Amino acid sequence: MNTSPTPRIAVIGAGPGGLTCARILQLHGIDVTVHDHASGPDARDQGGTLDLHEDNGQIALREAGLLEEFFRLSRPEGQEMRQLDPQGTLLFHHTAGEGDRFKPEIDRGQLRDLLLNSLRPGTVRWGRTLEAVAGPEEGPRQLHFADGTTVEADLVIGADGAWSRVRRALSPAVPRYTGVSFLEAWFHDVENRHPYIAQLVGQGSATAADGDRALFAQRSSGDHIRVYVIQRVPADWITASGLTVQDTDGIRALLLERFRDWSPALRRLIGDNDGRYVDRPIHALPVPHTWDHNPTVTLLGDAAHLMPPLGVGVNLAMLDACELALALANHHCVDDALRAYEKTLLPRSTEMQRLLDGGAEHLLSTELPDFARQEEA
Ligand SMILES: Cc1cc2nc3c(=O)[nH]c(=O)nc-3n(C[C@H](O)[C@H](O)[C@H](O)COP(=O)(O)OP(=O)(O)OC[C@H]3O[C@@H](n4cnc5c(N)ncnc54)[C@H](O)[C@@H]3O)c2cc1C
């Protein structure tokens, strides 16, 4: 059991979870190194926007001392939400009230920079792809990287996302395809080049669904709009159709045929996009995903509880990270800290996993969300 006053802590993954954990540890005077397989901070496409909620993501940012800076960068007007039917009729429209800061939007890249720039220089080691965690359970652990190097650590924190390598040290679980796929499309310089789409989406998001298909369009800062074409399809639907993801014209023709009954205005969300589509089949971990306590390895975020993307993933990753860092700051030994963290984490993530199990299907549902019905009443 590691009771060293200065355990060597390695976080694997510089996503929102890993960076939040490192920031809060450093604020409490605890040394940490983050390893990420990306070659540098800008190597991975950070496109798109997400909302950080008052009751999880924002709690973590407050502990990280970054909440005011987040509010300065975020877009409360991005909370605007429209739901349409496939014919383009507006069913529901929500706009954020004055001073509403329940879940303002921020670009993923801005959030990443906010967290990254708050860390001591050199905290993140880029270009380090973890292959395996070795060594005895009680430690020290050896981290084997794809570049042939090995690093020793007393605590390994797996913040390495959906396809976590750290998870293998704790559990045999692997993510499964949910049966629902997102295809991402982008529109740039929307006010000038795609004004009809800018108007349709407003300052936040617009959705439409018919039970089998859905469109979800969302504005980012800098005059960009991202659209997800959501379909219940086999994971290999593009190749099964004789296409490749690079074949933009072929995919576009296929989609326009599949959405042929939809209004011309909504079909423009599929057909007028700039650049290529990005294929994002949606996976989730089996429910519940738990593991037996281990004194030298733990998980947070998607590595611990990958769920369908219903707007909570980043928020939960940051809350996990915050609670783990505070547990380490408040306990004398790592083992006690992990026990305290997992005592809260595992029941919470089990509950959320159960709530969102099959949730990818809800994205296709024609029903208004509960909060929309409440607002209408
Ligand atoms: C299409 C889609 C839309 C989504 N939209 C939203 C949304 O609007 N709101 C929301 O809250 N959530 C959303 N999510 C979920 C959200 O993206 C994740 O829940 C969140 O990013 C999890 O954060 P994380 O820090 O746990 O992992 P990640 O963000 O996945 O970060 C993991 C990091 O680990 C690194 N890494 C991976 N493997 C290794 C390795 N072997 N060695 C070293 N480094 C490694 C990666 O480079 C990455 O930097 C969406 C997900 C999808 C798929």
Same domain for 239 and 253, yes or no, is yes
Q: What pLDDT score does 146 carry?
A: 98
Same domain for 22 and 120, yes or no, is yes
Q: What pLDDT score does 48 carry?
A: 84
Q: What pLDDT score does 261 carry?
A: 97
Q: Which domain holds residue 162?
A: 9-77+103-175+285-359
User: How many CA atoms lie within 13 Å of 272's alpha carbon, on the beta-carbon side?
Assistant: 18
Read off the tokens for 319. 């809350």
Alpha helices per DSSP H over 49-144 = 57-63, 67-73, 108-116
User: Average pLDDT of 17-26?
Assistant: 98
DSSP designation for 149: -
Average pLDDT, the chain: 94
Q: What pLDDT score does 3 carry?
A: 62
How much distance in Å is there from the Cα of 13 to the middle of ligand 1? 9
Q: What pLDDT score does 69 carry?
A: 97
Is residue 294 within 8 Å of residue 137, measured between CB atoms? yes
Q: Which ligand 1 atom is the nearest neighbour of the CA of 315? A: 11
* 376 pLDDT more than 50: no
Same domain for 189 and 277, yes or no, is yes
Same domain for 166 and 24, yes or no, is yes
Q: Which of 189, 367, 359 is nearest to 272 (CA)?
A: 189
Q: Give the separation between CA 51 and CA 101, rounded to whole angstroms.
A: 10
Q: How many domains does the chain have?
A: 2
* 311 pLDDT more than 80: yes
Residue range 194-219, pLDDT digits in tens: 999 999 999 999 999 999 999 999 99
> Per mean pLDDT, which range of 102-111, 174-183, 240-249, 325-334 is the poorest?
102-111
Q: Is residue 78 within 6 Å of ligand 1 at its C-beta?
A: no
| Adjacent-strand bridge partners of 9 | 155
Q: In sequence order, what are the residues at sequence separation of 6 or more whose Cβ sits closer than 8 angstroms to the Cβ of residue 241? A: 250, 254
Q: Which ligand 1 atom is the nearest neighbour of the CA of 13? A: 34
Same domain for 148 and 213, yes or no, is no
Boundary-marking domain end, from 220, 250, 283:
283
**Which one has a higher pLDDT value, 367 or 244?**
244
Assess if residue 98 is contained within a domain: no
- Residue in 314, 345, 352, 356 to alter for ligand 1 test, most ligand atoms within 8 A of Cβ: 314
Same domain for 148 and 163, yes or no, is yes
| Adjacent-strand bridge partners of 279 | 183
What CATH number corresponds to the domain at position 198?
Answer: 3.30.9.30
Q: Is residue 46 within 6 Å of ligand 1 at its C-beta?
A: no
Q: Give the separation between CA 96 and CA 77, rounded to whole angstroms.
A: 6
Q: Is residue 17 within 6 Å of ligand 1 at its C-beta?
A: yes
Assess if residue 120 is contained within a domain: yes
Task: Please name the residue whose Cα sits nearest to atom 15 of ligand 1.
Answer: 313
Q: What pLDDT score does 67 carry?
A: 98
User: Average pLDDT of 90-116?
Assistant: 89
Q: Give the separation between CA 223 and CA 33, rounded to whole angstroms.
A: 36
How much distance in Å is there from the Cα of 126 to the middle of ligand 1? 16
pTM above 0.85, yes or no: yes
Same domain for 37 and 70, yes or no, is yes
Assess if residue 18 is contained within a domain: yes
Assess if residue 90 is contained within a domain: no
- Residue in 33, 50, 156 to alter for ligand 1 test, most ligand atoms within 8 A of Cβ: 50
| Adjacent-strand bridge partners of 184 | 228, 278
Boundary-marking domain end, from 225, 249, 283:
283
Q: Give the separation between CA 73 and CA 322, rounded to whole angstroms.
A: 21
Residue range 255-309, pLDDT digits in tens: 999 999 999 999 999 999 999 999 999 999 999 999 999 999 999 999 999 999 9
Assess if residue 84 is contained within a domain: no
Q: What pLDDT score does 363 carry?
A: 87
Residue range 65-77, pLDDT digits in tens: 999 999 999 998 8
User: How many CA atoms lie within 13 Å of 276's alpha carbon, on the beta-carbon side?
Assistant: 7
Q: Is residue 57 within 6 Å of ligand 1 at its C-beta?
A: no
Q: Which ligand 1 atom is the nearest neighbour of the CA of 282? A: 53
Q: What pLDDT score does 369 carry?
A: 60
Percent over 70 (pLDDT), the chain = 95
Boundary-marking domain end, from 232, 258, 283:
283
What CATH number corresponds to the domain at position 26?
Answer: 3.50.50.60
Q: Which of 310, 285, 320 is nearest to 57 (CA)?
A: 320
User: Average pLDDT of 87-92?
Assistant: 95
* Amino acid (one-letter) located at 335: D
3-state SS string over 231-253?
A: EECCCCHHHHCCCCCCCHHHHHH
Assess if residue 353 is contained within a domain: yes
Same domain for 147 and 294, yes or no, is yes
Dihedral pair phi/psi, residue 74, rounded to 5°: -80, 170
Q: Is residue 160 within 6 Å of ligand 1 at its C-beta?
A: yes
Measured torsion, CA atoms of residues 294, 119, 52, 175, in degrees rounded to the nearest 10 = -40
CA 230 centroid distance within chain:
17
Q: What pLDDT score does 377 carry?
A: 42
Assess if residue 4 is contained within a domain: no
* 60 pLDDT more than 70: yes
* 105-107/49-51 β-pairing: antiparallel
Q: What pLDDT score does 359 carry?
A: 82
Percent over 90 (pLDDT), the chain = 86
Same domain for 291 and 161, yes or no, is yes
pLDDT confidence band for 161 (50 / 70 / 90): very high
Assess if residue 309 is contained within a domain: yes
How much distance in Å is there from the Cα of 87 to the middle of ligand 1? 34
Same domain for 187 and 169, yes or no, is no
**Which one has a higher pLDDT value, 99 or 291?**
291
Same domain for 141 and 217, yes or no, is no
Same domain for 22 and 142, yes or no, is yes
Q: In sequence order, what are the residues at sequence separation of 6 or more whose Cβ sits closer than 8 angstroms to the Cβ of residue 172? A: none
Is residue 179 within 8 Å of residue 334, measured between CB atoms? no
Residue range 335-371, pLDDT digits in tens: 999 999 999 999 999 999 999 998 878 889 888 665 5
State the angle between helix axes of 16-27 and 108-116 in degrees (0 to 180), rounded to the nearest 10.
30
